[in-house]
Amino acid sequence: MSGRRRDPGAVLLRGLLWAASTLYGLAIRLRNRRYDTGRTPIHRAGVPVISVGNLTTGGTGKTPLVAYLATTLRSHGYRVSLISRGYGRGEAALNDEALELEQRLPDVPHVQDPDRVAAATVAVEELETQLILMDDGFQHRRLHRDLDIVVIDATCPYGYGHLLPRGMLREPLSSIARADVAVLSRSNYVSPAERQAIREAYQRKCKGENPQLLWVEAEHRPARLIDYRDRSEPLEQLSGKRVLAFCGIGNPEAFQRTLEDCGAEVVDLHALPDHARYDADTVGQLEQWGKSQQAGCDAAVDWMVCTQKDLVKIRAANIAGLPLRAVQIDLHVQPHEPLVQRLLEISSMGPRPV
């Protein structure tokens, strides 16, 4: 996808993927046109709906943003419910993002259903919610939303410039014109000049159609270390540790950078598929990998480290004889006030807070 490989096989494969992405792009444009013209109906939930989504596949940092939004709205007295498709949950009641959000937001219910309209109905009629946060909802246009927030990963802002499957774009970059708020996530991982270039590139894609688009930048900062029982440890304990890291997220390189920024020495990173299921086979592979890495090291390895999204599924005290810890990531938004004001404006359209 990135285009770094130049061998004949890679070039041929990119050509085939490009042809498939052309057909995919045609289907996306036709689908969006049906919603834009009203030929496909859009359903209202009866309460304000705030959607958080993205234009690319992979991990853009939506989960910390959803937690930030929910916490902000709860602090102003609103009863908030989360709804999402529940991708990757299999037979489980909740998928990994929902389990992480449940740990972060124990007082915020989460309804998972591929039919987001049905999920919203449950949230309103059964949970008496006053406001709905729809996770990963930018492409789910069947449910009306009052605020569309799009998350853009500063470390891969353009999805390699191509639609799926040639690149990582779910729809063209010009679709940013539908958004109300753009959040540049992991903004601390790129320079001010790069952040400005990303902003200007997206503004050009709007072609003047959305002059009211609010642009904010968000830093993903490690907040604490946790174990499988959600017991907290100071983040400083990670400094100087030699660790084996694993993760099943869309952007494993960002996780490794986070650990290194905390002062850890990452002996090796084992990247699993996004939404990986930690069944017996997967855990067994991690055990074997951990033992082989330790056997091949001249110096001792101190810890095994993963993301909070992984820990809520694996729920183990140690792997391969190493203590297992996760890093919880919190979001810091700049500018903070304009986004909060926009949230409260939308929230005031529904029932009054309690």
| 62 labeled binding residue | yes
Write b or e for each residue in 199-210: b if 16 or more Cβ atoms lie within 10 A of its Cβ, otherwise e: beebbebbeeeb
The reply to whether domains 49-220+332-347 and 222-329 share a CATH topology is: yes
Residue 322, pLDDT above cutoff 70:
yes
Among candidate residues 190, 271, 202, 203, the one with its CA nearest the CA of residue 56: 202
| 309 labeled binding residue | no
- Which H or E run includes 222? strand 214-226
CATH 3.40.50 fits domain 222-329: yes
Q: Per-residue confidence at 354, pLDDT binned at 50, 70, 90?
A: low
Q: Mean pLDDT throughout 316-336?
A: 94
**Residue 89: predicted pLDDT:** 62
Among candidate residues 327, 322, 317, 319, the one with its CA nearest the CA of residue 284: 319
Q: Mean pLDDT throughout 229-256?
A: 93
The rounded mean pLDDT for the chain is 92
Provide the residue type at 137 as one letter: G
**Residue 126: predicted pLDDT:** 97
Distance separating alpha carbons of residues 248 and 274, to the nearest angstrom: 5
pLDDT in tens, 14-63: 889 999 999 999 999 999 999 999 999 999 999 999 999 999 987 788 99
- For the ranges 62-76, 96-110, 233-247, the lowest mean pLDDT is seen at 96-110
Per the CB < 8 A criterion, the answer to whether 140 and 85 are in contact is: yes
| 205 labeled binding residue | no
| 58 labeled binding residue | yes
**Cα angle, residue 167 at apex, residues 201 and 97 outer, rounded to 5°:** 90
Q: Give the number of other CB atoms < 10 A from CB of residue 6.
A: 7
Per the CB < 8 A criterion, the answer to whether 136 and 62 are in contact is: yes
Neighbouring C-alpha atoms within 13 Å toward the C-beta of 133: 27
**Residue 96: predicted pLDDT:** 79
The pair phi, psi for residue 54, each rounded to 5°, is -155, 170
At 242 the three-state DSSP class reads strand
Residue 93, pLDDT above cutoff 70:
no
pLDDT in tens, 259-300: 999 999 999 999 999 888 899 999 999 999 999 999 999 899
In the numeric block, which tokens belong to residue 64? 């910390």
Q: What percent of the chain has pLDDT over 70?
A: 97
Per residue, the 3-state secondary structure of 286-322, as one string, reads: HHHHHHHHHHCCCCCCCEEEEEHHHHHHHCCCEECCE
Radius of gyration of the chain (CA): 21
In sign, the C-alpha dihedral spanning 34, 150, 103, 71 is negative
What residue segments make up the domains of the chain, in order of their start? 49-220+332-347, 222-329
- Taking the chain, what is the end-to-end CA distance rounded to the nearest angstrom? 49
Q: What percent of the chain has pLDDT over 90?
A: 79
Q: What is the topology classification, in CATH, of domain 49-220+332-347?
A: Rossmann fold (3.40.50)
Distance separating alpha carbons of residues 14 and 20, to the nearest angstrom: 10
| 57 labeled binding residue | yes
What residues have CB less than 8 Å from 145, skipping those under 6 apart? 49, 50, 51, 134, 137
Residue 245, pLDDT above cutoff 90:
yes
User: Which residues lie across from 24 on neighbouring strands?
Assistant: none
**Residue 92: predicted pLDDT:** 59
Distance separating alpha carbons of residues 138 and 302, to the nearest angstrom: 41
